[in-house]
Amino acid sequence: MLTILDRKKAPEFHAIEKITLAQARTSKLDNGIPVSVINAGTQELVKIEFIFSAGVWEQTYSLQSSCANAMLSEGTKTRKSSQIAENIDYYGAFLEQEVNQDWAYLTLYTLNKHLAKVLPVLEDILKNAVFPQNEFNILIQNKRQTFHVDNQKVAHIARTRFNALLFGKECPYTYRLTEEDFDKLQCKQLIDFYNVYYKSGNCKIVLSGLVNTETVSLINKHFGGRDWDSLTKPSKVPDAQIRSEEKHQHVIVREDAVQSALRIGRILFNKLHPDYHAMKMLSTLLGGYFGSRLMTKIREEKGYTYGIGSRIISLRNAGYFFISTEVGVSVCEPAIAEIYSEIKQLRDTLVPEGELSLVKSYVLGDFVRSIDGPFALAEKFKKIMLYDLKYDYYDTFVDTVRTITAERIRDLANQYLQEKDLLELVVGKMK
């Protein structure tokens, strides 16, 4: 019997007590590559992610990790880049390549019925990339142009220079790209990186979507052999010392700036730290959603900016907290003063129960939305797998959100958000 909705009546409200995630099942290919499967969803679609410990942290030369990853699909021993693109497009598949500070990804989306046709192309890309000189020249030219465009943007300058202030000049996480780096990089350096890091011993695979035993068997057929073992194992990069800048206030003047980009933050910790979940809550309350204190004060009340936010970033070897915004040049100093005022309030005054309850509901609701569908569940799994964590990490997160008190928020603010510990960077002008 069809139920008619009464649209004059609001849906019932109830608190989220427990969240259950569909969990990944992990096995190994014949050559030892771990394969994690999340079999969920209703569409005949599968996402295959190859994850390599080949991010910026591992590179020896600037641009090496990102360019090596980008060049994988630019030609193999048997296929030109145009043929690779045609092979992928013909079957309605999609190839995605990405590099971050810690990891490199090669991801394929395809219909299940075409998997057997597309996997040989993916195998060829991973095992037989040849890094053609002409394609390399085009890539460098494009990246150089992007570099020039980005360096005209105060927000980009603030983001990259702030990382240098946080981590220090010698840390691999520091963005140190210069014009000369585009001239120094050579194809051979990409080939050397590929030959060491894009091998079975440095790889993890995550499958999500409608995954069956035939899917895993096909993956094992193409990637479970010993034919792409590394001749040399990746050498462990020495733990680089993180040395934040001792001077706390920094200004990079751009005379033509209409707006000034602002960043305030500090080195903190990653998700392995026991205070990580609680600090995520503090950051959300301060600037992590549209109704946050920073948005309310600096956007809604003062009108200094279109948007402002705070975040905690977790990296494999570090973590940090930051606040970012762009404000008009004429209101840069008042905006900075208001930011510090909001942080001081968190240190000095207990968060009202109504506000804390609202943030708790927002965070739990956002978490529920973030696990909708097989690909979203795979993202959640990767966030723990890459740190060697278990699913109880999310149980702890939910419990922290539900039980955190105003007193805990205040104590965390006093412990981690003292003004003397915060670095401040302005790119633009101050009046």
In this predicted model, what pLDDT tens digit does every residue of 50-105 receive, in sequence order? 999 999 999 999 999 999 999 999 999 999 999 999 999 999 999 999 999 999 99
Question: In the predicted model, what is the mean pLDDT of residues 161-186?
Answer: 91
Residue 90 pLDDT:
95
CATH of domain 249-428: 3.30.830.10
25-223 and 249-428: identical CATH topology: yes
Residue 191 pLDDT:
96
In the three-class reduction of DSSP (H, G, I as helix; E, B as strand; rest coil), residue 309 is classed as strand
Domain boundaries, the chain: 25-223, 249-428
More confident residue, 243 or 62: 62
Task: Point out which residues pair with 98 in neighbouring strands.
Answer: 105
Least trusted range by pLDDT, from 240-249, 273-282, 337-346, 413-422: 240-249
**CA gap 324, 262 in Å, rounded:** 6
Task: Grade residue 414 by pLDDT with cuts at 50, 70 and 90.
Answer: very high
**CA gap 362, 380 in Å, rounded:** 18
Residue 184: half-sphere exposure toward Cβ, Cα within 13 Å: 10
Examine the pLDDT at 172 and tell me if it is beyond 70: yes
Helix crossing, 406-416 with 276-287: angle to 10°?
Answer: 90
Least trusted range by pLDDT, from 109-118, 222-231, 377-386: 222-231
Question: In the predicted model, what is the mean pLDDT of residues 222-226?
Answer: 93
Task: Point out which residues pair with 129 in neighbouring strands.
Answer: 76
**CA gap 45, 208 in Å, rounded:** 9
Yes or no: domain 25-223 corresponds to CATH 3.30.830.10: yes
Q: Which residues contact 267 (CB under 8 A, 6 or more apart)?
A: 166, 167, 242, 244, 318, 319, 320
Task: Point out which residues pair with 321 in neighbouring strands.
Answer: 266, 312
Rounded to the nearest integer, the mean pLDDT of the chain is 92
Sign of CA dihedral 412, 416, 420, 422: negative
